């Protein structure tokens, strides 16, 4: 290992922004089985998907080509904040008194405050190219909605966001941010869609969920000619766009003569995880490189660690195609933990397949342990992490402490997916001792899993 590097951060030139995204489908021995149509139970046809996605993104969803060129128009907007810095968390290492090196890639420098803008821009671009005029989507904590609002603005599209009602009420600043970028924001469930009305008829007081908001957005996109749907995670093309993170990180680590022993990222729908991890997983798949890869999720929404690998819908009402993935059941309502971006019932089919095949691992943590790690990090490194990102920090700290116990000089890399400046109410709760650890009710989970669609050989 090169000991000469005494610095704290590794920067790249603007010209070193990757020119291509990395498609892991090229290197996987087993691909996930195809998405199934909710109408027929058969593999979805391009026609069906074409009602809500543009051709450019559909092609990326299916292709096994290894390198996909980043359109110059997208790369040019990436230049506003990319390449993002790679840091060595030296002060955190000292506090932990670990022989391990802790490195992190920081995506919170994006105008949206998280990694999500990487794909939002690409999606806006391909929709614009296809003549679409409006994008519609859902958002939980508001991270994805803000990213799509900015991206829509950059490419001259209108943007409508269905925001989970409980977040709409609890996080007014995220809503105002989206509106500042010109988006129209609704508290979901609304009475303006069939899906929303169905939910409200059953429960007029419904606080909403990501699954319900997706149902509303997909319904609007499917019924309007000029409107398409945009998803912030889960799908193959979304993970593809996020690989700019890992490709940059790999180059940055090469510059200081390092290669990680462990790559860690929080995992909601899996795009942040796939984004940093896949360019490294490539070496594991094609060169048999020894590498531990950890997806970190909330104990209250433990999709990989306690979910089932099965076909399930992406939304609550059952309008989306069924994906083969780890799932807690499409009508699973996660406890309202503060890491809103990790409260999704399913997981990316690519991440699910790699987990199923034992290529990657996963850990789940309760939220108090996560906030504790987030504050330890903030006080050491100066950056207040998003609660979602703090899950990765928790795992990185634990791996560094395990390395200390075993006297191992591991190189740890994690993705700091976003900053926590819009999550101060959550930090206040933690600081005032009001934050509780939600546990998942085993009986309720069993009930949701029993309601999985009966397809794919079940």
Q: What angle do CA 336, 417, 267 make, to 5 degrees?
A: 55
Verify binding: residue 118, ligand PLP, rule CB under 6 A: no
Q: Which of residues 233, 252, 320, 327 is near ligand PLP by CB under 6 A?
A: 233
Cα separation, 257 vs 55, whole angstroms? 40
Q: Which of residues 116, 175, 258, 410 is near ligand PLP by CB under 6 A?
A: 116
Instruction: Compare residues 135 and 386 and give the one whose CB is closer to ligand PLP.
Output: 386
Binding segment toward ligand PLP, per CB under 6 A, in 27-35, 166-174, 385-393, 405-413: 385-393
Verify binding: residue 143, ligand PLP, rule CB under 6 A: yes
Displacement of CA 103 from its chain's centroid (Å): 20
Instruction: Compare residues 103 and 144 and give the one whose CB is closer to ligand PLP.
Output: 144
Binding segment toward ligand PLP, per CB under 6 A, in 13-21, 65-73, 181-189, 269-277: 269-277
Q: Which of residues 270, 307, 329, 334 is near ligand PLP by CB under 6 A?
A: 270
| Residue 337: how many other CB atoms lie within 10 Å | 21
Minimum CB–partner distance for residue 44 and ligand PLP (Å) = 22
> Interface residues for ligand PLP in 47-106 (CB under 6 A)?
none
- Is the Cβ–Cβ distance between 163 and 196 less than 8 Å? no
**Closest of 352, 364, 52, 340 to residue 209, by C-alpha:** 340
| Phi, psi angle pair for 167, to nearest 5° | -75, -40
Instruction: Compare residues 193 and 326 and give the one whose CB is closer to ligand PLP.
Output: 326
- Is the Cβ–Cβ distance between 39 and 313 less than 8 Å? no
Pseudo-torsion of CA 103, 106, 107, 112, nearest 10°? 160
Binding segment toward ligand PLP, per CB under 6 A, in 12-20, 167-175, 361-369, 381-389: 381-389
- Residue 117 contacts by C-beta under 8 Å, 6 or more apart in sequence? 81, 110, 111, 147, 150, 151
Binding segment toward ligand PLP, per CB under 6 A, in 74-82, 256-264, 362-370, 386-394: 386-394
Cα separation, 272 vs 114, whole angstroms? 9
Across 48-98, where does the E strand assignment appear?
A: 67-69, 86-88
Minimum CB–partner distance for residue 233 and ligand PLP (Å) = 3
Verify binding: residue 123, ligand PLP, rule CB under 6 A: no
**What is the length of the chain?**
458
Helix (H) or strand (E) holding 379: helix 367-381
- Is the Cβ–Cβ distance between 237 and 350 less than 8 Å? no
Minimum CB–partner distance for residue 306 and ligand PLP (Å) = 17
Q: DSSP state, 26?
A: G
Cα separation, 213 vs 267, whole angstroms? 20
**Closest of 301, 300, 308, 351 to residue 326, by C-alpha:** 308
Minimum CB–partner distance for residue 361 and ligand PLP (Å) = 16
Angle between helices 236-255 and 117-129 (to 10 degrees): 130
Q: Which of residues 35, 268, 298, 302 is near ligand PLP by CB under 6 A?
A: 268
Q: Which of residues 418, 426, 435, 452 is near ligand PLP by CB under 6 A?
A: 418
Verify binding: residue 267, ligand PLP, rule CB under 6 A: yes
Verify binding: residue 417, ligand PLP, rule CB under 6 A: yes
Minimum CB–partner distance for residue 295 and ligand PLP (Å) = 8
Instruction: Compare residues 268 and 302 and give the one whose CB is closer to ligand PLP.
Output: 268
Q: Which of residues 188, 228, 271, 327 is near ligand PLP by CB under 6 A?
A: 271
Tell me if residue 43 falls in helix, strand or coil. strand
Q: Which of residues 145, 269, 298, 346 is near ligand PLP by CB under 6 A?
A: 269
- Residue 131 contacts by C-beta under 8 Å, 6 or more apart in sequence? none
Binding segment toward ligand PLP, per CB under 6 A, in 12-20, 172-180, 267-275, 301-309: 267-275
Q: Which of residues 193, 266, 353, 367 is near ligand PLP by CB under 6 A?
A: 266
Cα separation, 458 vs 74, whole angstroms? 42
Instruction: Compare residues 96 and 267 and give the one whose CB is closer to ligand PLP.
Output: 267
Which residues are near ligand PLP by CB under 6 A?
A: 114, 116, 143, 233, 266-273, 341-342, 386, 388-389, 417-418
């Amino acid at each position: 290992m090169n000991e000469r590097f005494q610095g704290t951060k590794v920067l790249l030139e603007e010209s070193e922004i990757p020119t291509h995204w990395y498609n892991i489908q090229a290197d996987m021995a087993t691909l996930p089985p195809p998405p199934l149509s909710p109408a027929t139970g058969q593999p979805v046809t391009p026609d069906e998907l074409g009602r809500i996605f543009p051709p450019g993104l559909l092609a990326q969803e299916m292709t096994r080509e290894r390198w996909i060129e980043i359109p110059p128009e997208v790369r040019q907007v990436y230049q506003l904040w990319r390449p993002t810095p790679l840091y060595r968390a030296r002060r955190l290492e000292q506090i932990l008194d670990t022989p391990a090196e802790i490195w992190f890639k920081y995506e919170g420098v994006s105008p949206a405050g998280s990694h999500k803008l990487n794909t939002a821009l690409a999606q806006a671009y391909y929709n614009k190219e296809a003549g679409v005029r409006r994008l519609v989507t859902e958002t939980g904590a508001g991270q994805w909605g803000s990213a799509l609002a900015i991206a829509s603005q950059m490419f001259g599209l209108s943007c409508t966001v269905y925001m989970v009602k409980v977040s709409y009420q609890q996080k007014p600043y995220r809503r105002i941010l989206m509106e500042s970028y010109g988006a129209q924001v609704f508290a979901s469930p609304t009475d303006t869609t069939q899906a929303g009305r169905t939910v409200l008829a059953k429960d007029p007081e419904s606080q909403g969920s990501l699954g319900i908001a997706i149902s509303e957005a997909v319904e609007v996109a499917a019924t309007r000619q000029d409107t398409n749907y945009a998803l912030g995670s889960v799908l193959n093309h979304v993970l593809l766009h996020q690989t700019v993170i890992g490709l940059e990180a790999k180059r940055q680590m090469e510059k200081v003569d390092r290669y990680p022993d462990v790559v860690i990222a929080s995992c909601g729908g899996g795009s942040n995880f796939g984004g940093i991890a896949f360019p490294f997983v490539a070496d594991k798949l094609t060169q048999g490189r020894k590498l531990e890869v950890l997806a970190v999720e909330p104990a209250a929404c433990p999709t990989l660690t306690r979910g089932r690998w099965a076909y399930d819908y992406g939304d609550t009402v059952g309008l989306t195609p069924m994906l083969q993935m780890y799932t807690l059941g499409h009508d699973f309502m996660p406890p309202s933990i503060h890491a809103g971006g990790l409260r999704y019932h399913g997981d990316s089919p690519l991440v699910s397949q790699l987990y199923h095949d034992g290529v990657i691992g996963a850990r789940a943590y309760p939220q108090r342990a996560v906030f504790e790690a987030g504050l330890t990090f903030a006080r050491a490194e100066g950056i207040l992490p998003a609660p979602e990102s703090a899950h990765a920090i928790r795992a990185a700290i634990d791996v560094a402490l395990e390395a200390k116990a075993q006297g191992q000089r591991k190189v740890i890399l994690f993705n700091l997916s976003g900053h926590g400046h819009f999550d101060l109410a959550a930090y206040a709760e933690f600081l005032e001792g009001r934050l509780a650890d939600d546990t998942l009710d085993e009986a309720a989970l069993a009930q949701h899993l029993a309601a999985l669609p009966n397809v794919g050989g079940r």
